[in-house]
A and B are shown apart, each in its own frame.
Chain A
Amino acid sequence: MEYGYYPGCSLTGSARKLDKGIRQIFARAGHTMKEIPDWNCCGAFEYGDRKELVNFSKKNLEKARGHFHDIVTPCPACYKNLKEADEAYEFGVIHPLDVFDESFFQWTKQARDLAGQVFTPYYGCILLRPKETAIRNKTIMEETIVRFGGEVAGEAAKDRCCGGNQIFIDKSVTEKLSRIILEKSRGTLVVFCPLCHMALKTFSGERKVIYFTDLLLYIMGEKGAL
């Protein structure tokens, strides 16, 4: 299947690891992804003027029109903004988690299992709320971890807020919130958002913080993925 791809700004810089992982995993599952030509920033959560914010993503949809129908976008903020801008449901705006199904896992071929390892899938906010733009299956990562033999922990942490959004505003807010997540979780934290990664990583001490793509690549046998 051919997907359009909207990486967003972070994935071209500080979250390039997430970008690389997504590309590898989709390639392994037999999908092709092509970037929306000359895409622009989605505005994240930085614009108070609702129309201005939505217009960023409308521009991106314009650039995708005629090229793609289904657009994959890994960053939760990008994903929400793009999905909200598609008011007429003309496109399929998809988070990578939305394509995790039986056939996907058959394609990807398992090389390792997660036996003896504990993981907390930390979805954070934007993948789960508001519900109009939430991912399809809100326990998909738990199911994936169990499927490959790992232990799932941290149910009470999974949908709390890490405060990542405040890290460059008032980091004491982020610190307090991230510490709550760290306390309420166990094992390796599996995250989906570049900002969650940074917030938790800043305060996690010895605890491991990884992207969900790292976990999948590990299962697929990639060297150095975890």
Chain B
Amino acid sequence: MPQIDHAIELTDYRRQDFSVCLGCKICASVCTVNDITGNTNPQDMLQRIFLGKDISADEPLVRSCTGCYRCTGACPWEIRIPDVIRALRHELNVESPFEKAFKGSVSLFGRVYEPYVLMKAVPFLIRGGYMQHVTRWMEYMGFHLPHRVKRT
């Protein structure tokens, strides 16, 4: 639970803000992840957070939320559920090697330098069966030198 509390602190919300949720489940009816899993419900997750219950790192929404803001767009209170989920991902440490490489590049260069990210993520890409897509990705390839953003 302290983890969940800490995650909420990372957002613009306080736990009690979720008391406005009407339980209408409109968010669930439009949720992109729900479209493909049929059992994901952002309302249920918010309610559990509000009631001080734990959220597990295996929660399908925490794993697979695409950050599409469909839920926010449809919610009468426009609750930014993906921002909450993003904070949970951070706090529960469910980031993929690719996300870690992304952040590594940002702290090193100040930008996402794709060759660096790719290099760091190679084992993950091989394990994950990404090599089969390489022929379709040729147009994205190319080399350029990194730009280093000045520290301020």
Interface string of B93-126 (1 = CB under 8 A from A): 0001011001100100011111000000100100
Interface SS of chain A: helix, strand, loop or mixed?
loop
Residues in A neighbouring B63, C-beta threshold 8 A? 170
The verdict on A43 contacting chain B, using a C-beta distance below 8 Å, is yes
Question: Which bucket holds chain B's interface residue count?
Answer: 35 or more
Report whether B114 and A129 are in contact in the complex, using a CB–CB cutoff of 8 Å.
Answer: no
A123 to B80 alpha-carbon distance, docked (Å):
20
Report whether A46 and B78 are in contact in the complex, using a CB–CB cutoff of 8 Å.
Answer: no
Residues in A neighbouring B98, C-beta threshold 8 A? 168-169
Report whether B133 and A39 are in contact in the complex, using a CB–CB cutoff of 8 Å.
Answer: no
A26 to B128 alpha-carbon distance, docked (Å):
40
Report whether A169 and B96 are in contact in the complex, using a CB–CB cutoff of 8 Å.
Answer: yes
- Given A168-B96, A202-B137: A40 and B66 within 8 A (CB)? no
Whole-angstrom distance between the Cβ of B5 and the nearest chain A Cβ: 14
Report whether A16 and B137 are in contact in the complex, using a CB–CB cutoff of 8 Å.
Answer: no
Residues in B neighbouring A15, C-beta threshold 8 A? 140
A40 to B91 alpha-carbon distance, docked (Å):
24
Least CB separation from A180: chain B residue: B35
Whole-angstrom distance between the Cβ of A169 and the nearest chain B Cβ: 4
Interface string of B126-141 (1 = CB under 8 A from A): 0011100100110111
Interface SS of chain B: helix, strand, loop or mixed?
helix
Whole-angstrom distance between the Cβ of A46 and the nearest chain B Cβ: 5
Which among B36, B99, B129, B137 is the interface contact of A46 at CB below 8 angstroms? B99
Interface string of A31-45 (1 = CB under 8 A from B): 000000011110111
Report whether A163 and B66 are in contact in the complex, using a CB–CB cutoff of 8 Å.
Answer: yes
Report whether B87 and A14 are in contact in the complex, using a CB–CB cutoff of 8 Å.
Answer: no
Complex interface residues of chain A between 138 and 181 (CB less than 8 A to chain B): 160-161, 163-166, 168-171, 173, 176-177, 180
13 contacts between A and B (CB under 8 A): A10-B114, A14-B114, A39-B149, A41-B111, A43-B106, A44-B112, A48-B7, A48-B87, A50-B12, A51-B10, A129-B68, A129-B72, A173-B33
Q: What is the interface of chain A, defined by CB distance below 8 A to chain B?
A: 9-10, 12-17, 38-41, 43-51, 59, 125-126, 128-131, 160-161, 163-166, 168-171, 173, 176-177, 180, 198, 201-202
Q: What is the interface of chain B, defined by CB distance below 8 A to chain A?
A: 7, 10-12, 32-33, 35-36, 63-64, 66-70, 72-73, 78, 80, 82-83, 86-91, 96, 98-99, 102-103, 106, 110-114, 121, 124, 128-130, 133, 136-137, 139-142, 144, 147, 149-150, 152
